[in-house]
C-alpha cells in the first residue's frame, strides 16, 4: 500500500523579503515560518515522514528546538540553487525511505496557513488519481499583461481572460518515481512540480483551496499570515 511523505524545500534565501536571515526562519507568531508548515503536515496522521531539504551550508536550522518530531522528521542537507534542483535532490535522497509508488506532498516552507481541511481533501481526492494533483484557487481578479520595454514604466498590453485560470498553491502531490522522472526531464527552471509533470504530457488534478493558504513573499505578508493563523481553526 502506498504511503504518504511530505517534502519541504527550504534551501532558498527569500531575497524579496529582505533581512539578514533566510525567509523560512523569520519569526511568525514567535516561531520560525517553516515551523508552521511542518506543524500542519505533522498533524495529518496519514503522512508518515517529513523531509526538510536544506542548503548544505545552512547555519540556521540547528539554532531551533525541533524536539518531539524525531521519529518523523528527516533533515536532508542537499538543496540546490533552484527550487527544482532542491526538490529533485531531496527526492533522490529519500529513496531509502520512499518507494517509487509512494506519494510525495511538496509544500512551500513559506506557506504557514495551510488549512487542515484542505490538506485532508487533497489526500482524499488525489490518493486514487493516476497522475496526482495540487491545491489551487480559481483566479478571481481581472488579469493584465504588461507591455514590454516601456520607458515610462509598466503599462497594460492586454487584459487576460480569467475563465479557467487557477493560481497554483502547495502541497503538490505526485508519486515519487513519476516526480523524479519529470524533474529530471524538465530542467532546473521549473517553478512548481505540476509544471514538470505537465511536460510529460500529463494533467494534474486541481483541488480547490482558498486564499488563506498564502505564500509569504513580502514583509507585509507576515502580518497577514499572523491574522489568518489567529482564526485558521475557528
Look at the alpha carbons of 132, 135, 139, 145 in this order and tell me if their dihedral is positive or negative: negative
What pLDDT is attached to residue 205?
98
Domains of the chain (ranges plus CATH)? 4-231 (3.90.550.10)
The SS3 call for residue 173 is: strand
Q: Please write the tens of the pLDDT for every residue from 17-35.
A: 656 789 999 999 999 999 9
Q: How would you list the strands of the sheet with 103-106, edge to edge? A: 73-76, 47-54, 4-10, 103-106, 166-175, 132-138, 205-208
Q: Please write the tens of the pLDDT for every residue from 200-216.
A: 999 999 999 999 999 99
Residue 104, phi-psi category: left (phi > 0), alpha (psi -120 to 50), beta (remainder): beta
In this predicted structure, the answer to whether residue 198 has a pLDDT above a threshold of 80 is yes
Q: Which of 10, 216, 210 is nearest to 116 (CA)?
A: 210
Whether the Cβ atoms of residue 173 and residue 133 lie closer than 8 Å to each other: yes
pLDDT mean over 71-85: 94
Q: Which of 197, 212, 198 is nearest to 137 (CA)?
A: 212
Top-confidence residue, 68 or 227: 227
pLDDT mean over 176-202: 94
Top-confidence residue, 169 or 153: 169
Instruction: Specify which residues 92 forms β-bridges with.
Output: none
Q: What is the DSSP letter of 201?
A: T
Whether the Cβ atoms of residue 207 and residue 129 lie closer than 8 Å to each other: no
**Residue 22 contacts by C-beta under 8 Å, 6 or more apart in sequence?**
10, 12, 13, 14, 58, 60
Instruction: Provide the whole-model pTM.
Output: 0.94
Amino acid at each position: 500500500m502506498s504511503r504518504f511523505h511530505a517534502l519541504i524545500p527550504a534551501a532558498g534565501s527569500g531575497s524579496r523579503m529582505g533581512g539578514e536571515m533566510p525567509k523560512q526562519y523569520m519569526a511568525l507568531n514567535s516561531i520560525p515560518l517553516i515551523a508552521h508548515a511542518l506543524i500542519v503536515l505533522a498533524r495529518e496522521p496519514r503522512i508518515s515522514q517529513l523531509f526538510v531539504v536544506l542548503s548544505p551550508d545552512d547555519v540556521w536550522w540547528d539554532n531551533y528546538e525541533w524536539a518531539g518530531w524525531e521519529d518523523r522528521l528527516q533533515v536532508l542537507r542537499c538543496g540546490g540553487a533552484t527550487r527544482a534542483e532542491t526538490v529533485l535532490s531531496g527526492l533522490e535522497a529519500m529513496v531509502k525511505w520512499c518507494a517509487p509508488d509512494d506519494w510525495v506532498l511538496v509544500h512551500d516552507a513559506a506557506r504557514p496557513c495551510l488549512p487542515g481541511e484542505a490538506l485532508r481533501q487533497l489526500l482524499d481526492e488525489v490518493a486514487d488519481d493516476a497522475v496526482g494533483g495540487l491545491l489551487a484557487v480559481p483566479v478571481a481578479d481581472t488579469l493584465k499583461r504588461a507591455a514590454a520595454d516601456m520607458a515610462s514604466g509598466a503599462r497594460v498590453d492586454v487584459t487576460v481572460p480569467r475563465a479557467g485560470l487557477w493560481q497554483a498553491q502547495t502541497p503538490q502531490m505526485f508519486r515519487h518515481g513519476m516526480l523524479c522522472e519529470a524533474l529530471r526531464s524538465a530542467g532546473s527552471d521549473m517553478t512548481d512540480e505540476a509544471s514538470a509533470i505537465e511536460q510529460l504530457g500529463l494533467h494534474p488534478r486541481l483541488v480547490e483551496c482558498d486564499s488563506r493558504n498564502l505564500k509569504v513573499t513580502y514583509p507585509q505578508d507576515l502580518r497577514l499570515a499572523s491574522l489568518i493563523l489567529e482564526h485558521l481553526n475557528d
